[in-house]
Amino acid sequence: MIVKGCSSIAQLKQISIFQNLATTQLTNLIPYSYVREYEPNEIVMQEGDRLAQQLHALISGTLEIKKTAVNGKETVMRLIPAGELFAAPAIFGNGIAPATVICQVKSQVLTIDREALLKAISHTPEISLRILAVFNQRLQQLHNTVHGLISERAIVRLVRLIEYYRDRDGTHSLAEGDCLNIKLPYYQIARSIGITYEECVRLFKKLKGIVIYKRGGTIIVQDWEKLETVTIKQS
């Protein structure tokens, strides 16, 4: 980890809750915001760590959020894209990291001291509404994940995961179909939907002709309607 110093206005505006705000609304945050650079596979925080009272956000890169059960089984809770917040308890909770955060690629993390953020919110209440919107969306995602693990078959959970990342990160067109903009390796998918690596491989084989999986986590959907039909047949 390398401390890069205070952030710039441009870096602050890359964070979702600060986008489209006037420069004057963000200037006072500069002395209290810091940028740290991490290498791939470097741990940003460990589950159970005591955290400083700071807002955490990702400027660039991708973060993997995972929890480890008592038996050692790891579950990938979600992937954090650039511009998003993470580690909410550091500023709104008990100050204990609820999960382990690892960099998938070289990443830059921005932190803002709690008191400076609260002062900015007092002058620009819209920031607090944006923060609430972010955590409301996370809560809904958690609800859907728990519901899926309890009541849906594994292949349905896989389809829902693909659709989730389509809606969140978008796709781009290739000759074979629509390619997800985010890469999702087998191991990451397996940990996200509560199955083994081997079962994940088998599920993609069942989706042959509808979904293409390529080495490294590239996922191409050939027919979205047929993919949705899979969930109907399994319900």
Mean predicted confidence (pLDDT) in 162-186: 94
pTM, entire model: 0.75
Name the packing angle between helices 154-169 and 126-151 (round to 10°).
160
Give yes or no: residues 127 and 183 share one domain: no
Q: Is the pLDDT of residue 23 over 80?
A: yes
Give yes or no: residues 139 and 208 share one domain: no
What's the number of domains the chain is made of? 2
Neighbours of 193 (CB within 10 A): 24
Least confident stretch, 37-51, 66-80, 92-106, 205-219: 66-80
Give yes or no: residues 103 and 166 share one domain: no
Q: What per-residue confidence (pLDDT) applies to 235?
A: 57
150 pLDDT band (50/70/90 cuts)?
low
> Domain boundary at 113, 148, 183, which?
148
78 pLDDT band (50/70/90 cuts)?
confident
Mean predicted confidence (pLDDT) in 212-217: 94
Give yes or no: residues 83 and 134 share one domain: yes
Which of 137-141, 149-153, 224-228 is the most confident on average?
224-228
| 33: its two tokens | 């915001």
Please, how many CA atoms are within 13 Å of residue 220, restricted to the half-sphere of its CB? Answer: 14
CA distances from 185 to 158, 166, 204, 205 (A): 13, 15, 12, 15
Q: Which CATH number do you get for residue 55?
A: 2.60.120.10
Rounded to 5°, the CA angle 119-124-126 comes to 125
> Domain boundary at 148, 182, 206, which?
148
Give yes or no: residues 144 and 221 share one domain: no
Contact between residue 182 and residue 165 where contact means Cβ atoms under 8 Å apart: yes
Least confident stretch, 106-115, 147-156, 193-202: 147-156
Give yes or no: residues 22 and 86 share one domain: yes
Give yes or no: residues 187 and 136 share one domain: no
Give yes or no: residues 142 and 221 share one domain: no
Contact between residue 36 and residue 2 where contact means Cβ atoms under 8 Å apart: yes
| 36: its two tokens | 């740290």
**b/e per residue 201-224 (b: at least 16 CB within 10 A):** eebbeebeebbbbeeeeebbbbeb
170 sits in the region (left: phi over 0; alpha: psi -120 to 50; else beta) called left
Q: Is the pLDDT of residue 96 over 80?
A: yes
Give yes or no: residues 157 and 127 share one domain: no
Give yes or no: residues 121 and 53 share one domain: yes
Burial class (CB in 10 A: 0-12, 13-18, 19+), 123: exposed
> Domain boundary at 148, 163, 189, which?
148
Give yes or no: residues 197 and 88 share one domain: no
Give yes or no: residues 109 and 163 share one domain: no
| Domain of 196, in residue numbers | 152-234
Q: In angstroms, how far apart are the furthest CA atoms of the chain?
A: 56
